[in-house]
Amino acid sequence: MHVCAVAHGHFPLYQAEHSSANQKLQEELAALKRFDSEIKELEDVIKAKEQIVSDADLQLKKLDHDIQNIVKDKQAQTGFVVAVEKQNPWIAEEKKSFGKPGGAYDFEALNMAQSKEKARELEDMQKSMKKKVNPKALNMLEGYGLFS
């Protein structure tokens, strides 16, 4: 401040301008602080949204991989079915009866646990019978396609 300003009585005028400027500065600083706070909040929201997108991309890749595996499994199973149908020509003839209620191929009505147990029992019985049969005779019978 100039000496002449003080001498002419302008000091209170400068003091009021200074006070007003200081008040405006404080208001501007408060506004900047609010803006900084808002920017930080927006950055946090952006980061959270980016994480959601990243998680969704990862999930999408996982699902895509699962789909590829399912397609491969389906192709393998289709090939297996074709091979089994080639090896067993009766399947083509009986296919129309598969799944019909009350029919010989009604697998929905079938008790799988009971069927597995029965199959195990029959296999055990067959193994015990093979032990009692002359191996040479068994080989001859198998050669004629009577046993497998």
**pLDDT confidence bin for 11, thresholds 50/70/90:** confident
Confidence check: pLDDT of 12 > 60: yes
Cα–Cα distance for residue pair 58/40, rounded to 1 Å = 27
The tokens for 51 are 């994480």
Looking at residues 88-108, what average pLDDT do you find? 86
Cα–Cα distance for residue pair 80/131, rounded to 1 Å = 33
Helix, strand, coil fractions of the chain, as percent rounded to 5:
80, 0, 20
> Tell me, what's the pLDDT at 148?
56
The pLDDT tens digits for 19-34 are: 999 999 999 999 999 9
Cα angle, residue 31 at apex, residues 50 and 24 outer, rounded to 5°: 165
Q: Which of 112, 114, 95 is nearest to 103 (CA)?
A: 95
The pLDDT tens digits for 37-61 are: 999 999 999 999 999 999 999 999 9
